[in-house]
Amino acid sequence: METAVTKTGTEDKIWGGGNEPLKVSYGKMMMWFFILSDALTFSGFLAAYGFSRFKFINSWPIADEVFNHFPFLHGVDAPMYYVALMTFILIFSSVTMVLAVDAGHHMKQKKVILYMFLTIIGGFIFVGSQAWEWKNFIKGEYGALETKGGQILQFVDTDGHRVALKDIAIVNTHNERVQHENKNGVWYDKEKVLPAFSVEEIKAGFSKNKDLLLRTQILTEKGAKTILTREESLKRLNGDVIGIVEGANMVHNEYGNPLFANFFFFITGFHGFHVFSGVIINIIIFINVILGTYEKRKNYEMVEKVGLYWHFVDLVWVFVFTFFYLV
C-alpha cells in the first residue's frame, strides 16, 4: 500500500509526485475548498434576501432613495453614485492583485510590493467607505413616522420631494419630554434614544403647512411610493401613528420594511468582514514580500493563494451590488 508520506533526500514531502489533484498544490486546493464553501454561504444569504424581497415586493424600500449620499456633498441627491465608486475601487484592487500575482510568477519583487500596496490601499478605502455608508444609513436624513401596524409614513412636498422632520416640527418649549424607561415604557421596553421631536410637534407643524403630504411605503404599479392626498394625510396622521423613526436599526427603519435593514447590516457586514480579513492577510503577505521570504523560497505561491481569496470577495461584492442595490 502506497504511503502518503515519501522520503526525498532529507526532506519529508506530503502530497507529492504525480498524485496532486488538478495539478495544484495542497495550499491552493484548500483555498479553493474554502472559497467553494463560502460561496455557498453567500448564496444562501442572497437567496434569503431574494425570497424576503419577493414576499414584500409592494413595500420594499427603493435603493436609489436610500443610498443617495456622497461625501462632502450634503443635500445633493446622488443616487448610487458612491456605491458605484466603492465597487469600482474594489474591482480595481482586484486588477492590481492580478498584476501582483503575475509579477510574482516572474520573480519581480519590487513590482509585487507595488501592486500589493495598491491592493491594500483599495481594500482600506472600500472598508472605510462601507463604514461611512453604515453611518449614514443608521443616522438617517429625513426621519419618518411609524404606525401601529409597523407601516412607515414619510413626508413629502407637493412636488414629491422628501421633507425632513426638523423642517416640519413646531417645537413646544413648555412641554418637557420624558424618556421611557423599563418601568413606564410600552411593554416594559426602554426607550434607548429620545427622538429629536415628539409626534405632537410633528402634527402641529404638518397641520399649519398645507404644502405637506404623507407618503406610504406601498409601491404603485410604476414602482413609486404612494403619495396620499392632503385629506388622507391628515386622517392618517391623526389615526394610528405611534412614534417617530430616525434612521435605521434592527427593529425600526425609516426607509420602509425593517427586513431591508436586517439584510443590509447582515450581508454587507459579513462581506465587509471578509474584505477586512483579506486586507489583514494581504498586509502579512506584503511584509513577507518586503522581507524577501518568497524570494528565498523561489516562488510567490502565497501571493497567488491570497489573490484567489481577494478575487473571491470582489466577485461576491458584484453579486451583492447587483441583488441589493441595482435590482
pLDDT at residue 302 in the model: 93
Based on the fold, state whether residues 29 and 131 are members of the same structural domain.
Answer: yes
Domain of residue 158: give its range: 144-176+190-244
Tell me whether residue 56 is in a domain: yes
Quote the number of domains for the chain.
2
**What's the rounded mean pLDDT across residues 25-50?**
92
Mean pLDDT, residues 37-42 taken together: 95
Q: Is residue 104 part of a domain?
A: yes
- The SS3 of residue 229 is coil
Are residues 263 and 123 located together in one domain of the fold? yes
Residues 31 and 128 in one domain: yes
Same domain, 240 and 264: no
Give the mean model confidence (pLDDT) for residues 296-310.
93
Domain membership of residue 67 (yes or no) is: yes
Does the pLDDT value for residue 11 go beyond 50? Answer: no
Instruction: Give the pLDDT score at 78.
Output: 85
pLDDT of residue 292: 92
| Side-chain-facing half-sphere of 164: CA atoms under 13 Å | 10
Please return the burial class of 169, using the count of CB atoms within 10 Å of its CB with bins 0-12, 13-18 and 19+: buried
Are 66 and 105 within one domain? yes
Of 223, 213, 111, 118, whose CA–CA distance to 159 is shortest?
Answer: 213
Same domain, 113 and 150: no
Predicted local distance difference test score (pLDDT) of residue 212: 93
Instruction: Output b/e per residue, 206-245; b: 16+ Cβ within 10 A.
Output: beeeeebbbbbbebeeeeebebbeeeebbebbeeebeebb
The mean pLDDT value of the chain amounts to 86
| Residues 135 and 264 reside in one and the same domain | yes
Percent of the chain with pLDDT over 90: 52
Within a domain: residue 230?
yes
Query: Which pLDDT belongs to residue 14?
Result: 53
pLDDT score recorded for residue 96: 97
What's the pLDDT tens digit per position in 97-133?
A: 999 999 999 999 999 999 999 999 999 999 999 999 9
List the CATH number of the domain containing 291: 1.20.120.80
Let me know whether 51 and 68 are in one domain.
Answer: yes
Greater model confidence, 266 or 188 = 266
Give pLDDT tens digits for 166-224. Answer: 899 887 655 555 555 555 555 445 555 666 778 888 888 998 888 999 999 888 888 88
Tens of pLDDT, residue by residue over 60-81, are 998 888 898 888 887 778 889 9
159 assigned to some structural domain: yes
C-alpha cell at 205: 407643524
Q: Are residues 122 and 163 both part of a single domain?
A: no
The domain boundary, picked from 219, 244, 269, lies at: 244
**pTM for the complete prediction?**
0.83
Query: Do residue 30 and residue 136 come from a single domain?
Result: yes
Query: What's the rounded Cα separation, in Å, for the pair 213 and 228?
Result: 6
Answer yes or no: is 15 within a domain: no
Say what the pLDDT of residue 1 is: 43
In a domain, 14, yes or no: no
- Distance set, CA 122 to CA 17, 104, 114, 116, 314 (Å): 39, 20, 13, 10, 11
For the segment 264-269, the average pLDDT, to the nearest whole number, is 94
Q: Both 224 and 321 in a single domain?
A: no
Q: What is the DSSP letter of 189?
A: -
The confidence score (pLDDT) of residue 5 equals: 45
Q: Is residue 20 part of a domain?
A: no
Task: Identify whether residues 83 and 217 lie together within a single domain.
Answer: no
pLDDT, residue 101, reads 95
- 281-296 per-position pLDDT tens digit: 999 999 999 999 999 9
